[in-house]
Structures are given as structure tokens and as C-alpha cells.
């Protein structure tokens, strides 16, 4: 069983600055509902109220700004309540683009792997009002690509979520059934930024 979240831990998390679009709350809710039903979603809302940071998922506006820390708390609460492991968090990230209102708006730009790669910094800016996503390398011959996230240090669980998320974006545009996504650099391991590298066959 996962350890219950302490109020002190949650209060520290909620001090983290930075905002994200409400679409992230909606994709979290969709995944929880898919796995645990409406009662599962209600259990998450109840636990958030108990911790002092309530949210009603059905009242979230996908284009309004909300605390990024609050969306992270939703993942941590779900992990606690449903005894998730890292694979569940990864799957949540990998599933999120399927539900994302903003991803649907941007789907018209997903014309090719290179075009998508070039669009990723703008894609980040539409979701977050802090941090910066930079394109790294794109090598079609060697079949790999990388992106870096700078100025973003929230909670280690998001590294797992983002790894799944970026993999799904690659799965949308790369014509391969064999794609891997690895976080090769991480600020929680002492690196100056996060780096994610996709490879395919």
C-alpha cells in the first residue's frame, strides 16, 4: 500500500509556483474515471477536500489557468487511493493526449514527425505559463529525437507522467510500433534540466 499523504507534504507541494491549463485536470479526471469509475473520481474529490485543496472536475474550464501543483496533487491522491505504481502514472501520462482538448486543437499541426518536433516549444507554451521546452536533436536516419525542459522542478512523479505523455505524442506521428521514451537527464538527479529521448525502429 502507498503511504498516506501528510498535510505537511501537501502544503509544501502547493507552494510551488506555476500554472497550467484546466485541460490537464480534465485529462486526469478522464483517466481516473476510465480506470475507477465515477465513484473513483468522487473519492479523489473527497480526499482533495480533506487535504484542504478541493476541486470539482466538472467545473474546470479547459482554457483557464490553474495551479500546476494542484494537478500534481491529483496524481498523488489517485496513487494513494488506488495503490498505483509507476506504471499507472506512466499510463496516465500516455493516455492524457487522447483526452486533451488542447491536443485536439493542435492535431492539425501534426503533419510529420519533424513538423511536430518543431512545434513542441509552442505546444508547451499553450499548456504552461512557466518553464521552457526546447527542441534537442532530430535524426531521422538514426531514428531518435530529444527534447529538454528547463526551469521546471515540481515533483518527481511528473517525470514519469511526462515520459508517458511525450511517448504518446511520438506514437501519433512516428510510423513505428516500436518506440521507446527515456528520461536521460533529470533535475531530481542533479542535472540542469529534464531531457527526454525517443527512439524507434
- The reply to whether the predicted model has a pTM over 0.85 is yes
Do the domain assignments include residue 69? yes
* CA proximity to 29, closest of 70, 84, 79, 74: 74
Among 75, 99, 123, the domain-final residue is 99
Last residue of a domain, one of 77, 99, 121: 99
Separation of alpha carbons 93 and 160, rounded Å: 8
Alpha-carbon distance of 49 to 53, in angstroms, equals 6
pLDDT for 117: 81
Neighbouring C-beta atoms of residue 79, cutoff 10 Å: 19
Task: Kindly state whether residue 193 falls inside one of the protein's structural domains.
Answer: yes
What's the pLDDT at 36?
A: 98
Has residue 31 been placed in a domain? yes
Low-confidence ranges of the chain (pLDDT < 70): 101-102, 104-111
Same domain, 88 and 116: no
Q: What angle do CA 150, 183, 122 make, to 5 degrees?
A: 45
Domain, as residue range, for 79: 7-99
Identify the pLDDT of residue 48.
98
Domains of the chain: total: 2
Q: Closest Cα partner for 148 from 86, 79, 90, 197?
A: 197
Amino acid at each position: 500500500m502507498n503511504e498516506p499523504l501528510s498535510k505537511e507534504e501537501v502544503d509544501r507541494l502547493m507552494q510551488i509556483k506555476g500554472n497550467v491549463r484546466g485541460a490537464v485536470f480534465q485529462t486526469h479526471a478522464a483517466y481516473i474515471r476510465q480506470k475507477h469509475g465515477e465513484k473513483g473520481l468522487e473519492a479523489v474529490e473527497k480526499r482533495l477536500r480533506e487535504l484542504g485543496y478541493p476541486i470539482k472536475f466538472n467545473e474546470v474550464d479547459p482554457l483557464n489557468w490553474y495551479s500546476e501543483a494542484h494537478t500534481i496533487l491529483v496524481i498523488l491522491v489517485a496513487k494513494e487511493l488506488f495503490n498505483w505504481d509507476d506504471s499507472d502514472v506512466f499510463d496516465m501520462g500516455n493516455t492524457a493526449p487522447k483526452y486533451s482538448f488542447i491536443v485536439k486543437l493542435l492535431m492539425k499541426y501534426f503533419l510529420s514527425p519533424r513538423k511536430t518536433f518543431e512545434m513542441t516549444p509552442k505546444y508547451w507554451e499553450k499548456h504552461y505559463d512557466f518553464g521552457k521546452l526546447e527542441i534537442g536533436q532530430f535524426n531521422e536516419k538514426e531514428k531518435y529525437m530529444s527534447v529538454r525542459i528547463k526551469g521546471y522542478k515540481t515533483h518527481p512523479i511528473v517525470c514519469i507522467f511526462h515520459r508517458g505523455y511525450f511517448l504518446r505524442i511520438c506514437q501519433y506521428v512516428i510510423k513505428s510500433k516500436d518506440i521507446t521514451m527515456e528520461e536521460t537527464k533529470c533535475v531530481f538527479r542533479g542535472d540542469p534540466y529534464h531531457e527526454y529521448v525517443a527512439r524507434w525502429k
